[in-house]
């Protein structure tokens, strides 16, 4: 993976993805290592973030890299009209790798085309979020002991939820049975569904969540992505479509875990947080180790 960008989850083979998960487990055991002290990581966030930005920066800091960047486009020269190309070419002069989040689909691919250094896609619009996918795969492996042959439900905004798109694509490699729960208007895009069909895997679509809960190993909740709606009335209509409450977990499988890429708005009631099924804050913690593994692999120190 040395010097290789990560724009889409399919940029890395299944063996490479599994290698990242294995390395992440090593970093979890021994996170403070001075292996990136010669490197500068640029963290360019044109869109808000808490977990992705701070876990990347924590991962880089714990491995002794230097970090430069910005957390909103308004504090960069983009606010003066600078193009993405010029920003990327400029920052490439100052750093060894760029972690970038951007509101436009395809922006990470474009950045990779113009950059002389590797790009890590930290989320491009409603398209993909491949580093979240790797930490989700790590979280599933840690809690279920395997990735193969699981029943996994995705609940909420499957249309705009970029974490769903890249995770579904990754799980197509592992004989997953998919349970897709969404309002009719927020179904999984057909290009993502095509990946499931291409692998001849089973998928079931629902508009209600209750009947799905007892069937699954992982319940992957998502936020309705308000910022992607062009019509606020449409958002108001679907925003509370699914709210997971503790009482709804009574018939869940013994080892079922609730994942959520976070932030949540109100799709998981706080009464779920203390249940044995709640795993979303540990999931966010896992992001640090996965991102350590990615930085070390792409910078070629491992």
* Spatial distance between the Cα atoms of 105 and 298, rounded to a whole number of angstroms: 23
Residue 228 as a binder of ligand CP (CB under 6 A): the answer is no
CB of 164 vs ligand CP, minimal distance in Å = 12
Residue 262 as a binder of ligand CP (CB under 6 A): the answer is yes
Check if the beta carbon of residue 261 is closer than 8 Å to that of residue 136. yes
Which range touches ligand CP (CB under 6 A), out of 9-17, 111-119, 152-160, 261-269?
261-269
How buried is residue 10: exposed, middle or buried, by Cβ count under 10 Å (0-12/13-18/19+)? middle
Subset of 87-106 contacting ligand CP (CB under 6 A): none
- Three-state SS at 71: coil
Cα angle 179-184-190, degrees, rounded to a multiple of 5: 65
Q: Dump the DSSP string for 143-169.
A: HHS-STT-EEEEES-TTT-HHHHHHHH
Residue 286 as a binder of ligand CP (CB under 6 A): the answer is no
* Spatial distance between the Cα atoms of 300 and 138, rounded to a whole number of angstroms: 21
Subset of 140-159 contacting ligand CP (CB under 6 A): none
**Which residues on adjacent β-strands are paired with residue 236?**
none
Which range touches ligand CP (CB under 6 A), out of 111-119, 181-189, 191-199, 256-264?
256-264
Please name the residues in contact with 247: beta carbons below 8 A apart, sequence gap of 6 or more.
none
Subset of 21-50 contacting ligand CP (CB under 6 A): 49-50
CB of 137 vs ligand CP, minimal distance in Å = 14
CB of 197 vs ligand CP, minimal distance in Å = 27
Task: Return the number of the residue (102 or 129) whose C-beta is nearest ligand CP.
Answer: 129
- Three-state SS at 182: coil
Subset of 105-134 contacting ligand CP (CB under 6 A): 123, 129, 132
Among 106, 263, 276, 300, binds ligand CP (CB under 6 A): 263
Task: Return the number of the residue (232 or 263) whose C-beta is nearest ligand CP.
Answer: 263
Name the residues that contact ligand CP, by CB under 6 A: 49-52, 123, 129, 132, 261-263
């Amino acid at each position: 993976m040395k010097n290789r960008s990560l724009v889409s989850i399919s940029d890395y083979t299944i063996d490479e993805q599994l290698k990242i998960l294995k390395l992440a487990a090593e970093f979890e055991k021994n996170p403070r290592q001075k292996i990136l002290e010669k490197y500068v990581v640029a963290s360019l966030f044109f869109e808000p973030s808490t977990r992705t930005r701070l876990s990347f920066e924590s991962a880089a800091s714990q491995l002794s890299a230097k970090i430069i960047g910005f957390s909103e486009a308004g504090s960069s020269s983009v606010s003066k009209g600078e193009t993405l190309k010029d920003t990327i070419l400029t920052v490439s002069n100052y750093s060894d790798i760029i972690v970038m989040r951007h509101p436009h689909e395809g922006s990470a691919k474009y950045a990779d085309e113009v950059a002389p250094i590797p790009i890590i896609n930290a989320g491009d619009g409603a398209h993909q979020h491949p580093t979240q996918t790797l930490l989700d795969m790590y979280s599933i492996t840690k809690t279920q002991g395997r990735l193969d042959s699981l029943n996994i439900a995705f609940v909420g905004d499957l249309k705009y939820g970029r974490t769903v798109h890249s995770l579904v694509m990754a799980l197509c490699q592992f004989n997953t049975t998919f349970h897709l729960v969404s309002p009719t208007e927020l179904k999984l895009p057909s290009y993502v569904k095509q990946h499931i069909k291409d692998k001849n895997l089973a998928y079931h679509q629902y508009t209600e969540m209750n009947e799905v809960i007892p069937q699954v190993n992982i319940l992957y909740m998502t936020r309705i992505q308000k910022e992607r709606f062009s019509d606020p009335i449409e958002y108001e209509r679907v925003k509370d479509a699914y709210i997971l409450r503790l009482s709804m977990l009574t018939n869940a499988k013994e080892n079922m875990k609730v994942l959520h890429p976070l932030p949540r708005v109100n799709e998981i009631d706080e009464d779920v947080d203390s249940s044995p099924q709640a795993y979303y804050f540990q999931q966010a913690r896992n992001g640090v180790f996965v991102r350590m593994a990615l930085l070390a692999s792409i910078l070629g120190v491992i």
